[in-house]
Structures are given as structure tokens and as C-alpha cells.
Amino acid sequence: MKNVLVTGGAGFIGSNFVRSILQHEPGVHIINLDALTYAGSLENLQDLPSPEQHTFVQGDICDRRLVDKLLRQYEIDTIVHFAAETHVDRSIVDPGAFIQTNVVGTFTLLEAARSAWVVEKPLPLDQVRFHHVSTDEVFGTLAPGDPSFNENTPYAPRSPYAASKASSDHLVRSYFTTFGLPITISNCSNNYGPNQFPEKLIPLMVLHARDGKPLPVYGDGQQVRDWLYVQDHCDAIRLVIQKGRVGETYAVGGDNQPPNLEIVHTICRIMDQLQPNSPYFPHEQLIQFVTDRPGHDRRYSIDISKIQTELGWQPQRSLETGLRETVQWYLEHPDWITAVSQQPDYQSWIQRNYSNREGGVK
Ligand code: NAD
Ligand code: TYD
């Protein structure tokens, strides 16, 4: 790994990954290709360690000429592909963008990589890698008591977001079997941590609790996610790229599976401790049950045995510690919150997603 093309590196996980590479891999040059959609922000790339090792390029992964140019100009040997439309609720309202970026965009990158690495072959194939960052949502939903997802679980996506990610996973795998493109895939559970766009559950709840706005819990709040601290995910990706077997998939998860309502109560408790003089104390008075998400997946859970035994990875942060640090990070970064949440798109999204959700079930 010398010259790395990171796609979507101005988003939540991508920017944390950029930071982690610059910290842990001296000598690596990162080319960060990001379209700066509503979810991407240069604010996420402030104060990078070794900024001279990082080059930002604003552009679309669907732009084949641009991707071709970057691969050759910077002699890219590794692609780490994060760029995607990522919010399930938005995929229900407007699925087209998900097909374009997640399916067509991934296809464009694969074609560019095939042409640069497999056809032209400037480097031996064992020195290049296409790592695709995917999600556990491709596996669908679990009932209580079902065994956790693992690498052999059949795909059964249920939202347009999950279906578009599943399509991209299939394409990536097919470029390995058909063209010999050296790929790896990681399917990870829900991440949380600094720099997550505040349309997702955890940062949304922190911001609303801070500002005394309702905390909208979908349905009965008993849906379960397998929460992983973002830095643990970044460590897993670095390890898969460096030590993972080509052509393989690795499931990554946090072994933290509380229902959403419990997460929201924990955030309220942490807010009570950090802001005891808030006019909204106790913050749980702000919780409001609202209409459920259509097709809402009930439960995700990941079996991490493969990455644990093959690569020695396991999560380092407990949920309690990670959540506390995360809440603290948002409270300590009001300028970041203002920069990302004052954009008109965010305000109109909040209006669009929440104004028609009547009171839900208790
Ligand atoms: P995010 O929405 O915070 O960031 C996505 C980034 O991609 C943004 O910076 C955006 O500007 C960029 N982007 C979007 N379309 C683009 C395009 N056409 N060309 C170039 N850049 C574009 O997403 P995230 O939460 O950081 O997720 C990153 C990746 O990890 C995604 O592929 C997602 O499916 C996967 N993932 C996320 C989670 C999670 O909990 N957030 C869990 C597992 C996997
Ligand atoms: P989210 O952060 O959107 O991630 P995903 O849908 O990819 O899992 O949502 C996490 C969980 O929180 C999910 O079960 C939906 C629920 N949720 C709410 O209850 N209220 C909200 O306002 C949001 C955004 C999510």
C-alpha cells in the first residue's frame, strides 16, 4: 500500500479512515476522491496528521475519465471504496441516487481498475487491491433467536439502500472470479463515532437532546443493531487490506446489540451527566415514538469469528465508553455541527422525514 485511492473520504467512515491511515501508515499517499454530496464535508478533513500525504479531489466516482486519470497519474496500487449513498430513509424517499452511486459508481471504479491493473498491468497483481466497504444490511433481517449473520449468509436485502449495496458486492465479487481483479469485501454493522452526519440515529439524538427537540424513535424502538465504534471498523479495514485473503469477504461487527430505545435512553443518561443544568434535563422527557420506517429491518447481529481467528481483529471499544466519547465529541464541536446541519438540504430533510410521522406506538 503506497498510493491509495480512497473514495468517499470526506464522509463519516471515510474521513476517519483517512486519519487512521495517516496516523498508522507513514509514507502512504492518499488520493481522496469525494463528490461532496450533502453527506460529505471538508470540515471532516480539518487538522489531518501529515496533511502533505493527503490530496483531496472533488469529483464523482461515476466519472470514468476522472477515475482513469487518477489511477495513472498517482500510480494507485490500492482502492478503498467507501463512496455511497448511505441513509436507508433517503433510499425510501428517493432511491435513484442509490442506484447511480452505489451500483453504477462501483461498476465504473471496477472497470477503471480492471483496465489499469489487469489489462495494462503496471504492477504485479499481488501488489494491487480493490477493497469494497459494504454493510451487514445486504443480509436482510433476523428474527429473535436466529443465528448471527456470517460470510455465508445468503443475501436478502430489504431496502433500496441494502439492495444497491448487495448489487455492488455481487459486481465486486464477479470481477474477482471473471477477471482476476484482486478484491476484498468487508460487510460491517452500524458504525457510530465522531463526524457522522446527523441524519443517522446516534448523532441525530445527541443534537436533538442538546437543542431540546423531540427524540423520534421509530415504531416500538425494539429494533436491534450491532453497534461498532468507527475506529474499530477502520482498524478492521486496514487489516483486511494488509493481511486478508484476496477474493474473500470478512464480516465485521461490534458484539453490541441493544435495542434502539436503550441506545436513546443511554444517550439521554450521558447528556444528563454532561449537561445537568440543561433546561431539557432529564433528557428522556424528549423521547417521542413516531411512525415506523416501512420495511424496517428488525434485527442485525454479526458473527465475527472469521476476522477474529484469521486476522486477530476484535473491537477495542465498549459501547458505553464509545457512546460517552461520541456524545462528548459532538458537544465539544458546535462549529462542526453548525457547518453540517445549517445547510438547506439538512433542514429540508428533517422536515421531509419527520413532519408526517404521526405519533407511534409506546
Ligand atoms: P457517508 O454518507 O457519511 O459518506 C459518504 C461519502 O461518499 C460522502 O463524503 C459523499 O460526499 C461521498 N459520495 C457520495 N456519492 C458520491 C459519488 N457519486 N462520488 C464520489 N463521492 C460520493 O457514509 P458512511 O457512513 O461514511 O459510509 C461509508 C461506506 O461504509 C458506505 O459504502 C456504506 O455503505 C458503508 N457502511 C456504512 C456503515 C455505517 O454505519 N455508516 C456501516 C457499514 C458499512
Ligand atoms: P440509522 O442510523 O438510520 O441506520 P440504519 O437504518 O442503517 O440501521 O438507524 C438506526 C436505527 O435507528 C434503525 O433501526 C432506525 C432507527 N431510527 C429511529 O428510531 N429514529 C430515527 O430518527 C432514525 C434516524 C433512526
Domain locations along the chain: 3-197+227-256+298-317
pLDDT band for position 362 (cuts 50, 70, 90): very low
> Cα–Cα distances in Å, from 91 out to 67, 95, 331?
26, 4, 29
Q: What is residue 357's predicted lDDT score, i.e. its pLDDT?
A: 87
CA-nearest residue, atom 4 of ligand 1:
11
CA-nearest residue, atom 28 of ligand 1:
82
Three-state SS string over 60-119 comes to: CCCCHHHHHHHHHHCCCCEEEECCCCCCHHHHHHCCHHHHHHHHHHHHHHHHHHHHHHHH
pLDDT per residue as tens digits for the range 213-246: 999 999 999 999 999 999 999 999 999 999 999 9
For residue 124, the surrounding DSSP H or E stretch is none
| Closest to 309 measured CA to CA, from 361, 262, 257, 239 | 239
Q: What is residue 358's predicted lDDT score, i.e. its pLDDT?
A: 73
- When pLDDT is averaged across residues 160-181 and rounded to a whole number, the result is 98
pLDDT band for position 57 (cuts 50, 70, 90): very high
CA-nearest residue, atom 5 of ligand 1:
11
CB 106 within 8 A of CB 81: yes
**Model pTM greater than 0.75?**
yes
CA of 184 to the centre of ligand 1 (A): 17
Q: What is the mean pLDDT of the chain?
A: 97
pLDDT band for position 342 (cuts 50, 70, 90): confident
- Other Cβ atoms closer than 10 A to 190: 21
The more confidently predicted of residues 343 and 166 is 166
CA-to-CA distance for 347 and 357, rounded, in angstroms? Answer: 16
pLDDT per residue as tens digits for the range 307-325: 999 999 999 999 999 999 9
The domain at 3-197+227-256+298-317 falls in which architecture? 3-Layer(aba) Sandwich (3.40)
Instruction: State the angle between helix axes of 12-24 and 230-243 in degrees (0 to 180), rounded to the nearest 10.
Output: 60
CA of 190 to the centre of ligand 2 (A): 10
Which of 218, 222, 227, 302 gets mutated to test ligand 2 (max ligand atoms within 8 A of its CB)?
A: 218
Q: Which residues are designated catalytic? A: 136-137, 161
CA of 228 to the centre of ligand 2 (A): 14
- DSSP 3-state percent helix, strand, coil across the chain (nearest 5): 45, 15, 40
CA-to-CA distance for 187 and 147, rounded, in angstroms? Answer: 16
CA-to-CA distance for 104 and 155, rounded, in angstroms? Answer: 20
pLDDT band for position 359 (cuts 50, 70, 90): low
pLDDT per residue as tens digits for the range 264-296: 999 999 999 999 999 999 999 999 999 999 999
Instruction: Please list every protein residue whose CB sits less than 6 Å from any atom of ligand 1.
Output: 7-8, 10-14, 34-37, 39-40, 60-62, 82-84, 86, 101, 105, 133, 135, 165, 188, 190-191, 197
Cell numbers 456470517 correspond to 150
